């Protein structure tokens, strides 16, 4: 199993704080059946700056530590970049790091809203030859209120990554429902942990895939696992035509 989103590198954001934390997270990942994991430290989120060169060096050091500890997990380099206007300029400066140096780029929206310039910037990223992946959209309060915002972005070429803990119910019933709705509406393309530690923000990948299999069948779980494989190999991932999330009737009334 591949996990595309984690905060496993020590001491650079709100994830693992020490190398010991990294080792413990790695052990927990292996227990989940994860063999490869992308480290995606926060970048430009108002608190953390983690540029490409630093991430590459820290990823190499972390892999060395895992090898010495005989932990069968490979860490791949990545970045979770909060959306901002100069992303393309900083990409040219080699400060932005796509996932495993592929053509896929994580984009994080602010928690409370989707910026008005998001649609144009996501389009410009695609024109630059990259595919933007919106991370954990199910936890964005504006998208929760108006899912059509995300539908519009996906319809225009953006992909999305839903958090395993959201599907497993770790963020509450409303976020779990939206996560499943996004899968049903073919607006979800990847499942990843966004793990920060082994206590409050763990992996939940096994639980998420179990829930997906129960709700949508094993083929749906295979779809997400296969997409993760294709991404790290920089291949074209599977996607289907997105649909709007259907409003459920209550007592026959919308």
Asked if residue 245 belongs to a domain, the reply is no
Q: In what order do the strands lie in the sheet with 74-77?
A: 2-6, 36-39, 74-77
Asked if residue 114 belongs to a domain, the reply is yes
For residue 170, the domain's CATH number is: 3.20.20.140
Residue holding tokens 């992996």?
Answer: 203
Overall number of domains in the chain? 1
Q: Name the nearest CA neighbour of 187 among 146, 158, 210.
A: 158
In this predicted structure, what is the pLDDT of residue 250? 43
Q: Six-digit token pair at 107? A: 């984009």
Q: For residue 3, what is the enclosing H or E element?
A: strand 2-6
CA distance 166 to 193: 9
SS3 169: coil
pTM of the model: 0.95
Asked if residue 126 belongs to a domain, the reply is yes
Asked if residue 38 belongs to a domain, the reply is yes
Asked if residue 247 belongs to a domain, the reply is no
Asked if residue 163 belongs to a domain, the reply is yes
Residue 23 is part of which domain span?
2-232
pLDDT in tens, the chain (254 residues): 999 999 999 999 999 999 999 999 999 999 999 999 999 999 998 899 999 999 999 999 999 999 999 999 999 999 999 999 999 999 999 999 999 999 999 999 999 999 999 999 999 999 999 999 999 999 999 999 999 999 999 999 999 999 999 999 999 999 999 999 999 999 999 999 999 999 989 999 999 999 999 999 999 999 999 999 999 999 999 999 999 998 764 444 44
In 44-147 the beta strands, taken as DSSP E runs, fall at 74-77, 80-82, 104-108, 131-135
Q: Which residues contact 74 (CB under 8 A, 6 or more apart)?
A: 35, 36, 37, 63, 66
């Amino acid at each position: 199993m591949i996990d595309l989103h984690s905060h496993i590198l020590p001491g650079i954001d709100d994830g693992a704080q020490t190398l010991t934390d990294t080792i413990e997270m790695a052990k927990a990942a292996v227990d989940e059946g994860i063999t490869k994991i992308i480290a995606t430290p926060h970048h430009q989120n108002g608190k953390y700056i983690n540029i490409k060169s630093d991430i590459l060096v820290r990823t190499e050091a972390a892999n060395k530590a895992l090898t010495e500890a005989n932990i069968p997990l490979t860490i791949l380099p990545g970045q979770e970049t909060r959306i901002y206007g100069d992303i393309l300029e900083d990409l040219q400066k080699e400060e932005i790091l796509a996932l495993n140096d592929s053509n896929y780029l994580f984009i994080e929206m602010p928690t409370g809203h989707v910026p008005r310039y998001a649609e144009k910037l996501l389009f410009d990223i695609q024109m630059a030859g990259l595919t933007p992946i919106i991370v954990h959209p199910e936890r964005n309060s504006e998208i929760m209120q108006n899912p059509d915002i995300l539908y519009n972005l996906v319809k225009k070429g953006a992909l999305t990554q839903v958090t395993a803990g959201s599907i497993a119910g770790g963020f509450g019933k409303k976020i779990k429902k939206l996560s499943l709705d996004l899968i049903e509406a073919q607006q979800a393309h990847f499942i990843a942990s966004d793990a920060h530690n082994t206590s409050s923000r763990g992996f939940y990948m096994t639980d998420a895939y179990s829930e997906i299999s129960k709700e949508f069948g094993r083929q749906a779980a295979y779809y997400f696992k296969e997409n993760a494989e294709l991404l790290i190999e920089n291949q074209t991932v599977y996607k289907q035509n997105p649909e709007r999330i259907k409003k459920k009737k209550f007592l026959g009334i919308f």
